[in-house]
Structure 1
Amino acid sequence: MLTVSEDLVLREAIMNLLASRTAEAGGFLTRAELSSFPVGSETRRLIDTSRGIWNPRDLNATLSIVSSPDGPYDDRDVDGGLFRYDYRAGSTAGDNTKLRRALELQLPVILLRKFATGSYVPIFPVYVVDDDLAKRQFVVAVDEALRFIGRPDELSEVERRYAERVTRHRLHQSMFRGMVLHAYNVKCAVCHLKHGDLLDAAHITADSKETGLAVVSNGLSLCKIHHAAYDRNLMGISPDYQVAINRKLLDEVDGPMLKHGLQEMHGARIALPHDTKARPDPERLALRFNTFLSV
């Protein structure tokens, strides 16, 4: 078994590589990719074959935990701004022992949020910050900023609100991007660019609004140029899925990016997910398109 310092170095290396690979892939990875992940000259498993807690033999503590929400998000898992993860069924020992060691040694862990068969959004580093024996749950901070703010039952109202906001943002936005890009097969709906690290999950109804839910039907997979144009109402998408470019941009003469990236998209039909339930909500598109037209 590695020393604790060696263990930490390895985890950091894995997470740095995981960040790069996840960005390239569009915010999510498959079970196959997680089961055979290249780290330097070796290949390591980042997920257990069948269980939710992965405890590699050479590591001092759990490396990853899997969460499978019933729906796109399950805020019942969030209590006081911290994520709650159930013990593995059975005794309090077994697989739970190494997850408890992650708490004792303050070693970072990878949270894998499952959203479709064989598809996961990695959220990391997360830290086990409490062991609630009475509820048979571990309490997990999903953001570095929340590691030291205290136990859930000891937080002030201000701390609780802050923690809940940070946690939901971290969980929801990561899941939103992964699910939207997965639905669009990691491709820009407008120009069909397929580089995951150049793609965003754009909200149709802004997430700052009460109805701006982080659900796939409120999302569009857009490259960064088209996302920026959409957010600034330089580009609109009609309820019948047609692209419209702001008249000033259509009349402007600039360079090849403007011509090929925006002007030539005017009137084109966006690519849609194969799953009809994942397609953009026409009512949301209509409201947003009216804003575009008014500008």
Structure 2
Amino acid sequence: MIGELAVREALMRWLDARTDPVVDQLFLKGFEYQGQRIAIAGQQGIMKPRSLQAAISIRTAYTEPTQTPPYADSVGADGLQRYKYRGDDPNHYDNRALRRAFQDRLPIVWFVGVARGRYEPIYPVYVIADDPANLEFTLAVDEGQRHLGTGDLSVDARAYALRLTKQRLHQPIFRRQVLLAYDGKCSICRLKHLELLDAAHILADGKPNGQPVVPNGISLCKIHHAAFDANLLGIRPDLTLHVRDDVLQETDGWMLAGGIQGVHNTSLEILPRARALRPDTERLEERYAEFLAYT
């Protein structure tokens, strides 16, 4: 029997060395440890290789915006992420495998679907509580969450836990989904260097419709994202751009002239192919009203 912790550490080093941040099923079939091929992600959500005693990974399939996820994984009132059991039997083989990872305090990898057949690996993740009554496990997606405890946390601890969940899980998944939908390009200027691109929220996180979903996002380069957030430019519901009047009157260098003023009354250059992934009209209307009120 191979070492439970050693193989997990090797897996995470292997994932660290990947060239594409997003992985697919073919890539995941290529992991080997000491010359032995190890299955690290199956078709079901919880994966335990035959050579291990505990689950090594969990998987969440991508769900189209118009569809309902098969499992209601969510964030608890304590700010910590929940992961639903496989089925309704706490003693199902897969649930026992993930429970063993919890009992032995072993790290796992969470493969989160960001497009059809493509996954963002989140690691290391730890199972820190088991709740058979609600058929779910509690996860720590950051080292800072591992020792918080669960359930009745203080207000400050809940806020801290939630902030880490957003930083380590929701924000990177949102960014990846948006950039994939826009083919890795700024929707205004077509810049395609991923390190210079952001997933801009149409409505800010915390607003009633500010969820981290692709229809609430637009792929923007860092300059256009900052200009959008600062209300230097707005995006109308018809996807045309409106540069603020006082900014249009300014005289400055070539970046302002070409990068900001020059896009006034033009349309977004890049949009997702799938209509369900395009900017939501109602969200755009709300955000554009905010822009007009600011000006």
Tell me the TM-score normalized by structure 2: 0.77
Q: 2:41 aligns with which of 47, 51, 60?
A: 47
SS of corresponding position for 2:20: helix
Aligned to 1:77: 74
Q: Cα offset for 1:189? A: 0.7
User: Using the alignment, how far apart are the partners of 1:95 and 1:209 within structure 2?
Assistant: 37
Aligned to 1:7: 7
1:87/1:137 contact within 8 Å kept: yes
Aligned to 2:190: 192
**Identity across the alignment (%):** 41
Summarize the Cα distance change of 1:286–1:263 in structure 2 as closer, same or farther, 3 Å threshold: same
User: Using the alignment, how far apart are the partners of 1:224 and 1:232 within structure 2?
Assistant: 12
1:15/1:124 contact within 8 Å kept: no
Aligned to 1:240: 238
Q: Cα offset for 1:212? A: 2.2
Q: How does 1:122-137 map to 2 (within 5 A)?
A: 122-137=121-136
Summarize the Cα distance change of 1:155–1:239 in structure 2 as closer, same or farther, 3 Å threshold: closer
- Listed one character per residue, the Cα deviations across residues 235-290 of structure 1 (whole Å, up to 9, x for unaligned) are 222222122334536743324x4454334433331122222222213343234334
Q: Does 1:107 align with 2:100?
A: no
Aligned to 1:219: 217
Q: Would you say how many aligned residue pairs link Structure 1 and Structure 2?
A: 285
Give, as a single letter, the amino acid of the residue that structure 1 aligns with 2:265: G
Moved more, 132-141 or 184-193: 132-141
2:110/2:121 contact within 8 Å kept: yes
Give, as a single letter, the amino acid of the residue that structure 2 aligns with 1:31: Q
Give, as a single letter, the amino acid of the residue that structure 1 aligns with 2:75: V
Q: Does 1:63 align with 2:62?
A: no
User: Using the alignment, how far apart are the partners of 1:108 and 1:214 within structure 2?
Assistant: 26
User: Using the alignment, how far apart are the partners of 2:196 and 2:25 within structure 1?
Assistant: 23
User: Using the alignment, how far apart are the partners of 1:43 and 1:184 within structure 2?
Assistant: 35
User: Using the alignment, how far apart are the partners of 1:109 and 1:260 within structure 2?
Assistant: 47
Summarize the Cα distance change of 1:278–1:12 in structure 2 as closer, same or farther, 3 Å threshold: closer
Q: Cα offset for 1:141? A: 1.6
Tell me the TM-score normalized by structure 1: 0.77
User: Using the alignment, how far apart are the partners of 1:277 and 1:127 within structure 2?
Assistant: 34
User: Using the alignment, how far apart are the partners of 1:31 and 1:252 within structure 2?
Assistant: 52
Aligned to 2:281: 282
Summarize the Cα distance change of 1:15–1:61 in structure 2 as closer, same or farther, 3 Å threshold: farther
Aligned to 1:16: 16
**Gaps spanning 5+ residues in structure 1: where?**
23-27
**Gaps spanning 5+ residues in structure 2: where?**
none
Q: Cα offset for 1:151? A: 3.8
Q: What is the root-mean-square deviation in Å for CA atoms of aligned residues?
A: 3.6
1:7/1:59 contact within 8 Å kept: no
Q: Does 1:120 align with 2:129?
A: no
